[in-house]
Chains A and B, each alone.
Chain A
Amino acid sequence: MTIQELAEGRIDFKGQKTADDIVRVVLITSTFLSFVVGFAFSSLMITMSMFALCTVALSLVVLPPWPMFNHHPVIWLSAQGHSQK
């Protein structure tokens, strides 16, 4: 694995779809939940720290190219008719 591959952290197409779904669901629910919990405890500190923690956790799950995002690699057709050209 080259340094460029490590830095890019590519994932396959299905993995991209999964990552996108996770981001959407987690960010929207954490916004809603942190508001409700902060309101219940009447503390803006709880709201903001809960939202920040959710964001950090989400980044840890989604940003690195974990193996679960690379279960469906693209299988290319083998090169054929090379000699015909």
Chain B
Amino acid sequence: MHSIYARVNGISALWSTCVMVLLGAVALSSFLFNANPKGNLDIVSLKVFHSRTRRYPFRNEEIGFVKFNLSADFTPLFNWNTKQLFVYLEAEYTNAQGVNNTVVVWDRIVRRKEDATIDIVQKDKYRLRDLSGSFSNVLPAQYSLKYNVMPYVGVLSYGEAARTAEPIDFPDARDSVS
């Protein structure tokens, strides 16, 4: 502590410890808030169409279109350590090969508390496609609304806000109208 440089050294040594303690306390504090918002999710319609694949010119595949009705209030998830939310709608099904698939159909990033109330009737952002190219013989799918809380400091946390009451059958594929 005798010279300016020694004092800079002394301050910064304790300062860095204090910053780590402060950030650790902030990260731990988000465990004090355990909001568990619940919402409603209804699948309005699910249509499957024959289509050409984009990447392979001589292969056909089926594409599923989902229209859904979704309402949920995520405002309780916003505490002092919440940076943003990632809200997504997942389709879960077992395909004809017996593989469990979870496919994100729709998502949204919520950056502000004011935007955290979601009440929409909307079509999917991302089409449903299966690697096998077909939805025949596929078991009925469950749909769930999930969220991912991203904090400023600390660990990501995940949760499920809504789920369809019963699994929904994939209809037979029809030829494209247009």
Q: Any chain B CB within 8 A of the CB of A1?
A: no
B interface residue count range (under 10 / 10 to 19 / 20 to 34 / 35 or more): 20 to 34
Chain B contacts for A16, CB-based, 8 A? 1-2
Q: Any chain A CB within 8 A of the CB of B46?
A: no
**A31-B22, A35-B22 are known contacts. Are A63 and B7 too (CB-CB below 8 A)?**
yes
Identify which of A11, A39, A64 contacts B2 (C-beta below 8 A): A11
Q: Any chain B CB within 8 A of the CB of A49?
A: no
A interface residue count range (under 10 / 10 to 19 / 20 to 34 / 35 or more): 20 to 34
Binary contact track B18-44/A, C-beta < 8 Å → 1, others 0: 110110011001000000000000000
Q: How far is the CB of A31 from chain B (nearest CB, A)?
A: 4
B14 & A24 in contact (Cβ 8 Å cutoff): yes
Chain A contacts for B18, CB-based, 8 A? 27-28, 30-31, 51
Q: Any chain B CB within 8 A of the CB of A73?
A: no
**A35-B25, A44-B152 are known contacts. Are A23 and B10 too (CB-CB below 8 A)?**
yes
Binary contact track A37-73/B, C-beta < 8 Å → 1, others 0: 0110011100100010001001100111100000000
Chain A contacts for B80, CB-based, 8 A? 38-39, 42-44
Identify which of B11, B22, B79, B153 contacts A34 (C-beta below 8 A): B22
A19 & B3 in contact (Cβ 8 Å cutoff): no
Q: How far is the CB of B80 from chain A (nearest CB, A)?
A: 4
Q: How far is the CB of A13 from chain B (nearest CB, A)?
A: 8
B152 & A27 in contact (Cβ 8 Å cutoff): no
A31 to B22, alpha carbons, bound, how many Å? 6
- A residues lining the B interface (CB < 8 Å): 7-11, 16-17, 19-20, 23-24, 27-28, 30-31, 34-35, 38-39, 42-44, 47, 51, 55, 58-59, 62-65
**The 5 residue pairs across chains A and B that have the minimum distance between CB atoms:** A16-B1, A42-B80, A9-B4, A31-B18, A8-B3
